Amino acid sequence: MKQFLLVFLGGGFGSMLRFLISKNLNPYFSNFFLGTFLVNIVGCLLIGIIFGLSFKNNVLTQNQTLLLSTGFFGGFTTFSTFAFEGHSLLMDSSILYFSFYTLLSIVVGILAISFGLWLSKLL
């Protein structure tokens, strides 16, 4: 039950923060969802650090890792919104913007995870 509550609380705070960031940054560009992109990339970077620290000599407890990774960053990052936004670009016949947004999100996201894991080794 404790783990369920940790995920619930972390997810709620992560989702609220994502909502605020996306609401304020997405309107800046008509064909690029800056808020969603940033929360997903920052989430990838920080989840890389979290997992790296949890693997490294048990720096984080299992409950702390669960609260932060599954809870907070699970709520903070959003694959479904990313997919919906990609779909809307396709429906607008913005193939170039769709391709750029999708490839950039995936490649930079994977690089951010890798960088986060590398950074955790230095901490």
- Domain residue spans of the chain: 2-22+34-122
- Nearest to residue 67, comparing CAs of 14, 123, 122? 14
Tokens of 63: 């409950």
8 A C-beta contact, residue 7 and residue 68? no
The reported pTM is 0.93
State pLDDT tens for residues 60-117.
Answer: 899 999 999 999 999 999 999 999 999 999 999 999 999 999 999 999 999 999 999 9
Alpha carbons 18 and 97: distance in angstroms, whole number: 22
Residue with tokens 């920052």: 42
